Amino acid sequence: MKQEIEIEFKNLVTKQEFDELIAHFNIGEEDFITQDNHYFDTTSFSLKDCGAALRIRYKKGGYVLTLKQPHEQGLLETHQFLTEDEAKAFMNGQVHVTGKIRELIERLGVDVTELLYFGTLTTRRVEKPYKDGLLVFDHSLYLEKEDYELEYEVKNAKEGKENFKQLLHSLHIPIRKTENKIRRFYREKYIALSEESS
């Protein structure tokens, strides 16, 4: 089990802006890696209502279960490693949360036995160091949607925000109010579930 504070700034971009960013930073197609985020919540979106989210990500040959929760400086992420069998069981409907993450979810007042697999968001990603932080270029596909995003992960929120604003300004990219991937995914899932039930 590992915990960390995530401080990041994000901005949705158009496909044209994304292509220009890729060219500006000399990124090639071979630089992209693909990662899958598998999301879980209750049918009534209990985690979402608490500002939290639960996902499994396959990364560097292993499966990691992550709970994200609001924190005064950004997001508190709690990670637990899963075996391949455990991860596949989660995605086949046998969601069995244990350890610290179970404890934290229960503290939120959410019944872990009601958690369900909601679906997968696939991201093509490149990461580049930039001014004491990390720029992340993401092209995401989920629930028949597609979007492009620039993220900036930092340790110092004040400096990071200024650096990110200056970069966007220098490339003539407007600042757009941007929800995180999980919220965008949930919004589409909620629409899909509403359409199914009507």
Q: pLDDT of the chain along its 198 residues, tens only? A: 788 888 999 999 999 999 999 999 999 999 999 999 999 999 899 999 999 999 999 877 889 999 999 888 778 999 999 999 999 999 998 999 999 999 999 999 999 999 999 999 999 999 999 999 999 999 999 998 999 999 999 999 999 999 999 999 999 999 999 998 988 998 888 888 788 776
DSSP-assigned beta bridge partners for residue 122: 36, 141
Range of the domain at 163: 2-197
What is the per-residue pLDDT for 176? 97
Count the domains in the chain.
1
What is the per-residue pLDDT for 1? 77
What is the per-residue pLDDT for 126? 98
CB 123 within 8 A of CB 34: yes
What is the per-residue pLDDT for 198? 66
DSSP state of 31: G
- The CATH number that applies at residue 139 is 2.40.320.10
What is the per-residue pLDDT for 155? 93
Helices (H), the chain: 15-24, 46-49, 84-91, 99-107, 157-170, 181-197
